Structure 1
Amino acid sequence: MMAETFTGIALTGTGSAVPDITLTNDDLAQVVETSDEWIKSRTGIHSRRVLSAKENLTSLAVQAGKQALLSAGLAATDINLIILATSTADDRFGNATRIQYELGAKWAVAFDLNAACSGFVFGLITAAQFIRTGAYRNILLIGADVLSHWIDWSDRRTCVLFGDAAGAVVIQAHDEDRLLGFEMRSDGSSYNQLNIPFHTQLRPLTDDVSIGQGSFMPITMNGQEIYKFAVRSVPEIIDKALFRSGVSHVDL
């Protein structure tokens, strides 16, 4: 008797987590020169959640992961792979293995994926390939960021936009493929429009050898260029994804 094979994927569980602290637009008006009306009219944002000094990205990600597992009806030990999509890991060597440990997913391989705002989409597509090739059957994908750690709170162009949260999905092998299609693009020419840059300082080690050491700086962003890019590129990528999925605009 031949073993049953699955070449498709399905999202079978979801979870999320946000910090307890709410930072409203009126709160931010006490920090920088802004107002609730100014922020809402330009961004639609009324408030954002931020971590306390005692919390970290791992705690948010674990909470979201547990909810997703419960939603899917799986135990942590059923998971084969954990992908953490984040740009703000607690540790430069990554957080995924710590999350694996704290979830009790002892049989799961775990790694971090850094693709900034697109991280969850890249993670979903990456997970799909692992399942479609038969390498894994049950994958936990977590998208989490703690951007409050990297904000310049004196810069009203950026501090009003970002907050902290985590979301998770369980992705499983399925006889019917529920991921209809996707389109991915990268444009490195705009690499300097949104950054958490590394600031290097020269440190002499010997008479002949000097190295660069330093630390990461707060978020820098060219908001106008980001907006232009989104308006130009997002509709195009949606059209391509619909085409690859065999879905028409009228079907939406």
Structure 2
Amino acid sequence: MTKRAVVAGIGHYLPERVVPNSEFEKSLDTSDEWIRARSGIERRHFAAEGQTTSNLATQAAQAALDDAGLTPDDIDALIVATSTADLTFPSAATMVQAQLGMRQGFAFDVQAVCAGFVFAMANANALIVSGQVKRVMVIGAETFSRIMDWTDRSTCVLFGDGAGAMVLEAQDGTGDNADRGILSVDLNSDGNYRDILYVDGGVSTNTTGHLRMEGKEVFRHAIEKLAATAATALGKIGLDGSDIDWIVPHQANIRIIQGTARKMGLSMDNVVVTVQDHGNTSAASIPLALSVGKARGQIKTGDLLVTEAIGGGLAWGSVVLRW
């Protein structure tokens, strides 16, 4: 028998404040039409004053626990993927652990920007497959509104805040690609592309910093690398694009999502899209989309999913799983 990391529960949380595109027209040379045409985004959520990444993550984690019918005491490890942790340290994950009332196990953060949830799932899968744990809570959570330059219309209109969480549980499988759970993983990074997507500040530079992005360059890399990593992950288990029920991509830009689907030879009817409602929530976007996709009735037990993401680093990767 083969150990598989199977999805036992999924949940998400979005801050109450909804920010439509029209709100940016008051302070920027932009419009709802301009933002929609270039990104597909119509609205996003912003955290309230004093509402932190760990707060959002805890709400999403509780929703995932409720969906799984579990309690915090049933979780052995907790991983938070984020680039906007509350503090330099301790980790956001240990804060979530405390807020949930989880007194056992261990917790840590993963930082791979928009690809963070894919990297976190890969870590959770390794912990489960190796037999170190039975259940892992994997969370993607961000408050990107805290690192925006509100004078830069090319970036500040694209991002939002939110959190999504998934409980992965060890179950026995047969070892073939018909198993439920995570079937394959492909991870990549190339630090030579740092300057096309980064925050221009940090602890060792004694500055807070804002997000900076070369949009055209990111777009160019995204479609090629996302399609390639998905094909690699599928190839590892003897599958290809024709076997996919759903692509659940990082929700950065509708044109990237459409371009990736075309390159993979798939219709947009096979893609879970939430970017119009959430904007780019970085590491939170894939678990948010998974949770919303399930709630909509799109994602069903037995469906084959590919999740793929690219973020600053550059870091990119994909996970193939059967729901």
State whether TM-score is above 0.5: yes
Match of 1:238 among 230, 239, 257: 230
After superposition, the CA RMSD in angstroms is 1.5
For each residue in 1:81-100, what CA deviation from the matched residue of structure 2 results, as whole angstroms up to 9, or x when unmatched? 00010000011112111110
For each residue in 1:172-208, what CA deviation from the matched residue of structure 2 results, as whole angstroms up to 9, or x when unmatched? 10002521112111111101111112268xxxxxxxx
Verify the 8 A CA contact 1:77 1:106 in the aligned structure 2.
Answer: yes
Q: What is the CA distance between 1:216 and its match in structure 2? A: 2.2
Q: Which runs of no fewer than 5 residues in structure 1 stay unpaired?
A: 201-211
Match of 1:105 among 102, 106, 111: 102
Q: Structure 1 110/199 Cα, relative in aligned 2: closer, same or farther at 3 Å? A: closer
2:247 corresponding residue in structure 1: none
Verify the 8 A CA contact 2:201 2:210 in the aligned structure 1.
Answer: no
The answer to whether the aligner puts 1:43 opposite 2:3 as a matched pair is: no
Verify the 8 A CA contact 1:6 1:173 in the aligned structure 2.
Answer: no
1:31 corresponding residue in structure 2: 27
The answer to whether the aligner puts 1:79 opposite 2:75 as a matched pair is: yes
- What amino acid maps onto 1:193 in structure 2? I
- What amino acid maps onto 1:238 in structure 2? A
- What amino acid maps onto 1:226 in structure 2? V
1:139 corresponding residue in structure 2: 136
Match of 1:186 among 186, 189, 192: 189
For each residue in 1:149-183, what CA deviation from the matched residue of structure 2 results, as whole angstroms up to 9, or x when unmatched? 00001100001110100000000100025211121
Match of 2:168 among 167, 171, 177: 171
Q: Which has the larger radius of gyration?
A: 1
The answer to whether the aligner puts 1:88 opposite 2:84 as a matched pair is: yes
Aligned equivalents of 2:192, 2:2: Cα separation in 1:
39
Q: What is the CA distance between 1:29 and its match in structure 2? A: 0.9
Q: Which runs of no fewer than 5 residues in structure 2 stay unpaired?
A: 174-178, 245-323
1:203 corresponding residue in structure 2: none
The answer to whether the aligner puts 1:67 opposite 2:59 as a matched pair is: no
Verify the 8 A CA contact 2:14 2:163 in the aligned structure 1.
Answer: yes
Verify the 8 A CA contact 1:119 1:143 in the aligned structure 2.
Answer: yes
1:226 corresponding residue in structure 2: 218
- What amino acid maps onto 2:209 in structure 1? M
Q: How many residues are aligned here?
A: 237
For each residue in 1:194-229, what CA deviation from the matched residue of structure 2 results, as whole angstroms up to 9, or x when unmatched? 1112268xxxxxxxxxxx751221111111100010
Aligned equivalents of 2:51, 2:81: Cα separation in 1:
19
- 3-state secondary structure, aligned to 1:172: strand
Match of 1:249 among 241, 252, 265: 241
1:206 corresponding residue in structure 2: none
Match of 2:124 among 124, 127, 131: 127
Q: For residues 198-213 of structure 1, what are the structure 2 equivalents within 5 Å?
A: 198=201
Q: Which runs of 4+ in 1 moved over 6 A?
A: none
- 3-state secondary structure, aligned to 2:150: coil
Identity %: 36
Q: Structure 1 75/227 Cα, relative in aligned 2: closer, same or farther at 3 Å? A: same
Q: For residues 144-159 of structure 1, what are the structure 2 equivalents within 5 Å?
A: 144-159=141-156
